[in-house]
Homo-oligomer: A and B are copies of this chain.
Amino acid sequence: MAELSNLEQLCLDKGLKMTDQRRTIARVISQASDHPDVETVYQRATAVDSRISIATVYRTLKLFEDANILIRHDFGEGRARYEEHGDHHEHLIDIESGEVIEFHNSEIEAMKERIARDLGYELIDHRLELYGRKIRP
C-alpha cells in the first residue's frame, strides 16, 4: 500500500536513519496542506502511531529543517509552524482565521535582492508576511 512520501524519499537520499517515528512524521508533513505547528504535527502523528513523543517531534522537525527538507515559520504566534520545502513563496496570514495563503511575486523578490545589495549586504534570508482581513463583497 503506502508508497514513499516525497519527504521519506528525501530522507533516504540524505542518508538519514529511518525510524518508524520519522517515517510517520514525514508522512504527516507531506500530507499537510496547511502550515501545522508542532503540537498539531504531534497530534496527527500520534493518531497514526501512539509511540511518538512530543520530544521526538521537536527533534525530528529540527532534523528535517537542518536537512533542508522542511521550512520552519514563525508567524509571531509564539510557536513555530512547518511546511515542506517546495517552491519559494510568501505568506498572507488571515488575522481572523489564522488561515495562511501562499503567493509569489517575482518583482518583490528582485527588489529585496537589490535593496540588500544597495545597503552593502549579501541577502542570506528574508521574511515577508502580510497580515490581512478578508474583504467581504
Contacts and interface: CB of A to CB of B under 8 A. Distances in A.
The quantity of this chain's copies bound in the complex is 2
Given A76-B74, A95-B124, A112 B130 contact: yes
Contact of A116 (B92, B111, B117, B125): B92
Contacts of A127: 76, 127-129, 131
Q: What are the nearest 3 A-B pairs in CB distance?
A: A121-B132, A125-B131, A127-B129
Given A74-B76, A135-B120, A103 B115 contact: yes
A133 interface: yes
Contacts of A92: 115-116, 119, 121
A134 interface: yes
A124 B132 contact: yes
Contacts of A134: 120-122
